[in-house]
Amino acid sequence: DQQVKQNSPSLSVQEGRISILNCDYTNSMFDYFLWYKKYPAEGPTFLISISSIKDKNEDGRFTVFLNKSAKHLSLHIVPSQPGDSAVYFCAASKTGGGNKLTFGTGTQLKVEL
């Protein structure tokens, strides 16, 4: 039972354009959502997060949007840079859950020159 889904295994965009990564979840108890970035042979690193009481959170070039009614969130990267090429994982947690994260399967982003 995949509670957090990333249906696009890969995405390719040109440098300077917008990258949009999508994530869907099924468990309505999730109330905190995070995006992690992972380079090969490294651990995931935290990128940006959003609480369920908000619908948008920005941090520089990165913006996360949350649509609770659709159980959908997306990560926008503008402008995309070659150094953004990595695997992006969506993750979710719920209050009282010991901060345990449930991860999606990841989307490989490739930013081309």
Partner 1 sequence: NAGVTQTPKFRILKIGQSMTLQCTQDMNHNYMYWYRQDPGMGLKLIYYSVGAGITDKGEVPNGYNVSRSTTEDFPLRLELAAPSQTSVYFCASSYGLGQGVSGANVLTFGAGSRLTVL
Residues that bind partner 1 (CB under 8 A): 4, 6, 9, 32, 34, 36, 41-46, 49, 89, 93, 98-106
Identify which of residues 13 and 36 has a Cβ nearer to partner 1 in the complex: 36
Q: Which is nearer to partner 1, 70 or 100 (CB)?
A: 100
Tell me how crowded residue 105 is: count the other CB atoms within 10 A of its CB: 14
Do 107 and 10 touch, CB atoms closer than 8 A? yes
Report in angstroms how near the CB of residue 95 gets to partner 1 at its nearest: 9
Question: To the nearest whole angstrom, how small is the minimum distance from the Cβ of residue 10 to partner 1?
Answer: 11
CB of 30 vs partner 1, minimal distance in Å = 11
Of the pair 20, 101, the CB lying nearest partner 1 is at 101
**Residues with Cβ within 8 Å of residue 48, at least 6 apart in sequence:** 34, 35, 57, 59, 62, 63, 64, 75
Largest CA distance in the chain: 44
